[in-house]
Structure 1
């Protein structure tokens, strides 16, 4: 009986410390300052394709999970500056006008100098940032919902492909070197 009590006690401690572990959260004031400055970087951690062909292929692979979430390595970003929007995001889904020679055009990799950025805050205090690039042909709108803790949910709507969403977080822009 003592073994069971000590085992339950140890498991309880493990669960307690796991729930108290540090989480990737930001200060709500810092998040508000970043969004209000209209200069921040969204870092994509997961991609959520909506195309069922992609989901079925992912589920048929050996040792795959039955989720439709793809873990990304963190090198995919949406960087927003005053006069520059730089997007580097992967795409998983159906393209209606693919390019066969230059496959880099099949993902979201572009720089926009002419874009419209609007932001609003909902009842829960989350920020909604809408970006409409005017000098990019295939992207209609990018929506970024920024939560109080710095986590963010991004959706990209295109003219030539099915929509896709990304989960991640925002951070301060890194300084550019001249």
Structure 2
């Protein structure tokens, strides 16, 4: 009886073995999702049409500040770049009673994209109405990003946030 039971057990194991081999492990599934996200981020940056949403600000010589609401952004496009970010720090030559933030709209110039194994770096210069802004955007393959803004009239400031595809309303405009 035990011989028949052991043979039946071995047969059952052999018949079920191929089914287990076809299932993917959690590690493989996670690696596939990461690769998919990486391809999406690369395609987004290569299209030169994306939105950076700021979540934290770090002024020069200051501490990290969490930004309320997700209303601070940099909409990057080859033909027009729009920025609305808060500014904390020293301003050198700014009109009294101005809006206080980094707000500009202009055509990006000298845009360079550098890719490495873990991140993509986008460098660009945008001439606003009253200032020239040098942008350094570091995008990691999980969608997290860091933006450094340097201008002639203000101290440098950095922002942490995420990079996303523009909303459909933004694409139509």
Per the TM superposition, whether the score is higher than 0.5 is yes
Counterpart pick for 2:119 among 107, 117, 126: 126
Unaligned 5+ runs, structure 2: 1-33
Q: Does 1:171 align with 2:167?
A: no
Give me the whole-angstrom Cα distance separating, in 2, the residues matched to 1:44 and 1:75: 8
Give me the whole-angstrom Cα distance separating, in 1, the residues matched to 2:90 and 2:139: 27
Counterpart pick for 1:157 among 140, 147, 150: 150
Q: Residue 167 of structure 2: SS of its match in structure 1?
A: coil
Q: Residue 36 of structure 1: SS of its match in structure 2?
A: helix
Deviations 1:56-115 (A, max 9, x none): xxxxxxxxxxxx1111121100001231100111100000112113x21x3111110353
Q: Which has the higher contact order (CA 8 A, sep 6+)?
A: 1
Counterpart pick for 2:133 among 130, 135, 140: 140
On the 8 A contact 2:104/2:128 being kept in 1, the answer is: no
Partner of 1:111: 105
Q: Does 1:96 align with 2:108?
A: no
On the 8 A contact 2:146/2:158 being kept in 1, the answer is: yes
Displacement, 1:136? 4.6
Q: Residue 129 of structure 1: SS of its match in structure 2?
A: strand
Give me the whole-angstrom Cα distance separating, in 2, the residues matched to 1:40 and 1:33: 10
What is the root-mean-square deviation of aligned Cα atoms in Å?
1.9
Q: Does 1:43 align with 2:39?
A: no
Q: Does 1:82 align with 2:78?
A: yes
On the 8 A contact 1:115/1:135 being kept in 2, the answer is: no
Give me the whole-angstrom Cα distance separating, in 2, the residues matched to 1:139 and 1:71: 26
TM-score by length of 1: 0.70
Q: Residue 75 of structure 1: SS of its match in structure 2?
A: coil
Unaligned 5+ runs, structure 1: 1-24, 56-67
Displacement, 1:34? 0.4
